Structure 1
Amino acid sequence: PKDLVQREVSKLGDKGVSFEVNALVGKLYDIDELMEDRGFDAVFVGTGAGLPSYLGIEGEGLNGVSVASELLTRVNLMKAYLFPEYETPVYAGKKCVVVGGGNVAMDAARTARRLGAEVTVVYRRGREEMPARAEEVHHAEQEGIRFQLLTNPTRILGDEKGWVSGVECVRMELGEPDASGRRRPTAVEGSEFVIDIDMLVVAAGSKTNPLIAKTTPGLEVTPRSLIVADERTGATSKPGVFAGGDAVIGAATVILAMGAGKRAAAGIAEYLTQD
């Protein structure tokens, strides 16, 4: 609930926390400038893993195609559900496919459903392999969302005006387990078919935006642009810089991020009070 989030934020403000919005670190200023020019003794990086992944197939640039993070940001954070009271339009089709099987895919599917679309979730593995929590899937089904499992999109089709008109898919079958421990899906030859749609949402996971890593000399990162940080304190390779949450471990849960933030807060307090 939005009012619950606002109450939690207000509590921080009441304790003296100040907020500087519309400030992109790494563009307007970098971490070194925060510490050297603006006088901060410590910086915590909690930028998450908000860089969306795409499918890499033909047609992703068509109108009516979006990533889940864009849809959810527009509807929830920018209050598109209150348009035109809030000037944040959001495209809502009549027939929507959401590609993915995680919790974000369920969020996107249920959001598209509440915007008025008939929604089908397309996932390349079976139900048992879906990473979404079982109750999320159950709630999606309760809202009338259909599931097309063991199915993988191969290309997105468009009309003469540049709008999505369908998605071509192929049936899949599960083979031997891959590195994740789940059985690897392989395409069934000759099983292609088309789903007619006017809206497609890609919920194929996300990764860490490399902006902080690229603009912070001395900050150790992994090949996936994840920040290397001490698990107990959140301390990074750069003195005074701490990090936690998805920016460190990759896309995970809010609970894990909250825990990392609390541990880093203790680590920062220890760092600032040391002799």
Structure 2
Amino acid sequence: MQLDGKIRSIKAVLPAVALAKEKKIKFAIVPFENLEEAYLIDGLNIWSVKDLKETLNIIEQLKDNILPPRTDIKPQAVIEQDYVLDYDFKNIKGQQRVKRAIEIAIAGGHNIMLFGPPGSGKTLSIKCAQSILPPLTNKELIETNRIWSISGKLIDRKIIKQRPFRNPHHTASKEGIIGGGPNPLPGEVSLAHNGVLFLDEALEFKKSILQSLREPIEDKSISISRASFKLFKYPANFQLMLAMNLCPCGNLGKKNTDCFCLQ
């Protein structure tokens, strides 16, 4: 809450409302900016407020056994908002074998690695793959948005409707990829839960980061331990896609070009 009484948006509203439902709590008051994610959980009376005055007004009505009107927003409308992709698989011309390999990988949920010289279309092909990912189920939609809510990434944006497609830079830290911090937050492996984690220029990532991907790939989750002996566990069921050159200099495989790595 601000000094003038206005209510600010907060992290983790969705998991908090979900837990309230599990505890048989019937009412919830959330910041106005967090209403859309809160409405993903049905079975509760949810009100959004913009300031302390509105909050007290709702509480007073509930004390008098009066049920205040809910904020006028339809949950289905929240889920069906338009989502525009920057990359579309249908716009790739040629590359039939690459496209077929990506289609098979997505259909079967397999990890995939594309390698070749620079400019051969590796990165573009994988980025366009997000347009053919299957839609999220209702369960997956709630799971995904709970993770994003905890990380604070739903503040000032709409809920996640499509399967996540995360593309971290190769300079990202291990904490950024795996998760962590004083109060451990989900990393890229968890933000990609139910979606795709794309590592472009895979060989440029630190070896320790690539090695740390073993746990989430095998267990579909990631455990983060702190010095206080607390263990945080986040879901991390993602499809890994990699793109890399054939050699560090990138010239191997290019026509009429010498590879400096072999000289």
Query: What TM-score, normalized by structure 2, do the two folds share?
Result: 0.24
Q: Which has the higher strand share?
A: 1
Pair member with larger Rg: 2
Return the structure number with greater relative CO, CA threshold 8 A, min gap 6. Answer: 1
TM-score (normalizing by structure 1): 0.23
Q: Which has the higher helix share?
A: 2
